[in-house]
Chains A and B, each alone.
Chain A
């Protein structure tokens, strides 16, 4: 059972938009930065978003991040079949003194 809660799966059609939520508490998301990772099948995770809403330069602006209170959200617009992957949120938990991840969300582009 992960400290951060993500929906197990989401789906949408190509070209559409999808959001993935990540819910936590005051010891983690509420007072620390959130990052998001994409893991394509059989590959290592890749950073998509850091510091809640910043994108590395190589990441297209179809990907966005936001945070409100103890929840964070990853948004993906203009969905492509190549976006099918597992997506993870991560942050620091001040009570556990540990990095924590959400359980992951599998995105299917129908």
Chain B
């Protein structure tokens, strides 16, 4: 069974940087894209981007382009999301999820448990 376990909640000040991890177990790490999804309090799902662990190539949603970096360490089966220049609008739960490696047919299964990032002065 594939499992994704994310790092714990973070509290950051405006302007800071946060880096969240997502450890994958139960599957071949490089076989699947890993996607990241943002969910602001009381809001819906918004795609952040994806990383291909096999070659480290990332694709990003326009909203986050320039502020987010996705990476993966294949030696420890862990993916990372780094978000810079944080503002209160970045306060949200961030989920990682594995998906098949067909870019235009992304279905996410399973998901990590989510990491709450709170940005507050």
A residues whose Cβ falls under 8 Å from a Cβ of B: 2, 32-33, 35, 37, 44-47, 50-51, 56, 86, 88, 90-92, 94, 96-104
Contacts and interface: CB of A to CB of B under 8 A. Distances in A.
B95 A50 contact: no
A102 B62 contact: no
Contacts of B108: 35, 37, 45, 47, 90
Point out which of B46, B61, B97, B109 has the most chain A C-beta atoms below 10 A from its C-beta.
B109
Contacts of A91: 106
A37 B111 CA distance: 11
B56 to A, nearest CB: 19
B47 A47 contact: no
Given A88-B44, A103-B44, A44 B105 contact: no
B83 to A, nearest CB: 17
Interface of B: 35, 37, 44-47, 50, 59, 61-62, 95, 97, 103-114
A44 B112 contact: yes
Nearest to A36: B107
Given A45-B108, A56-B109, A97-B59, A92 B103 contact: yes
Given A44-B111, A104-B44, 6 more contacts: A32-B105, A47-B107, A90-B107, A94-B104, A96-B62, A103-B44
B105 A45 contact: no
A44 B44 contact: no
A14 to B, nearest CB: 26
Contact of B109 (A33, A50, A96): A50
B98 to A, nearest CB: 10
